[in-house]
Amino acid sequence: MTIKTLPAAPAAGFTARAQFPVPQSALDRWQPLQAADKADDRSISMFDVIGQDFWTGEGVTAKRVAAALRAMGAGPVTVNVNSPGGDLFEGLAIYNLLREHQGEVTVKVLGVAASAASIIAMAGDKVEIARSGFLMIHNTWVVAVGNRNDMRDVADQLEPFDRAMADIYAARTGMDAKAVGKLMDRETWIGGGDAVEQGFADALLAADAVEPGEKSKARAERRMEAALRATGLPKSEAMTLISEIKTGGAGDPPAGRGEGDPTEGALASISATAALAASLTTLHPTY
């Protein structure tokens, strides 16, 4: 059972549709839903459309997710997602399956979780997203044929599903459902950092989780290296110089060598750094 308090998605009936079954032999060679085959790797990868697809047949379905969860049994599960979305009803069913799983569910958005896939992502007790990843939320889409009265009826039929999705996003983020509805009206794409800031995700992926101070320091070092390399300095010498600046010349003899003003060495180091900064400014005025 999920440790998050989230609303249940509404149950929905099946709709009539033409069937284009894919031969089992083809499915055996290509499986869009991949469950780990190692006992110590409890993960499911969803790297395809959600539900049936006209061109490729069966994508990621509730049936396959249920089978993968049963095979792994109770315990923590990691769900890797990179999907453009698809069938809303399948997405809602998968969302509910993950919520009901007996164990903590961690969802990792590796690329994109759009449309129905974004609903699935909300089922995680913990949601992580790549810094370069995206969520996309929008209102329900259908293909309808008929006169103006039929179109009005279809619009009325879609409203409950839009409200259900808005409630799920609002429960995850803490945003007002009406505010979420406006984002859905605009078909909003949400990048990794914004997804964390707005509450759609709990954190960036571990590989992207860099502390602000460390990030700024690393950026400054890369810029300094690029500037030094532009002068023709070999990479090894550039990195050695940057290292000496970072450590304050720790390998050098004590400041002033015991003669004269004890701050002589420190002042010399500061002067050298200032000179280097001035030369970098001259060579690269945009830095």
pLDDT tens sequence for the chain (287 residues): 666 677 766 655 544 444 445 455 544 444 555 555 455 679 999 999 999 877 767 799 999 999 999 999 999 999 999 999 999 999 999 999 999 999 999 999 999 999 999 999 999 999 999 999 999 999 999 888 999 999 999 999 999 999 999 999 999 999 999 999 999 999 999 999 999 999 999 999 998 876 555 556 766 777 777 777 778 777 778 778 887 777 765 545 444 444 455 445 544 554 555 555 555 544 444 44
What does the CA dihedral 20, 23, 29, 33 come to, rounded to 10 degrees?
40
Give the pLDDT confidence score for residue 56 in this predicted structure.
66
**What's the predicted TM-score (pTM) here?**
0.63
pLDDT at 90: 96
Identify the pLDDT of residue 240. 82
Extract the tokens encoding 207. Answer: 């590989």
Q: Are 200 and 172 in contact (CB under 8 A)?
A: yes
**What is the reported pLDDT for 126?**
96
| Alpha-carbon gap, residue 65 to 34, rounded angstroms | 9
Residue of 40, 57, 39, 37 lying closest to 48 (CA atoms) = 57
In 145-199 the beta strands, taken as DSSP E runs, fall at 188-191
Q: Which domains does the chain have, with CATH numbers?
A: 24-208 (3.90.226.10), 212-283 (no CATH)
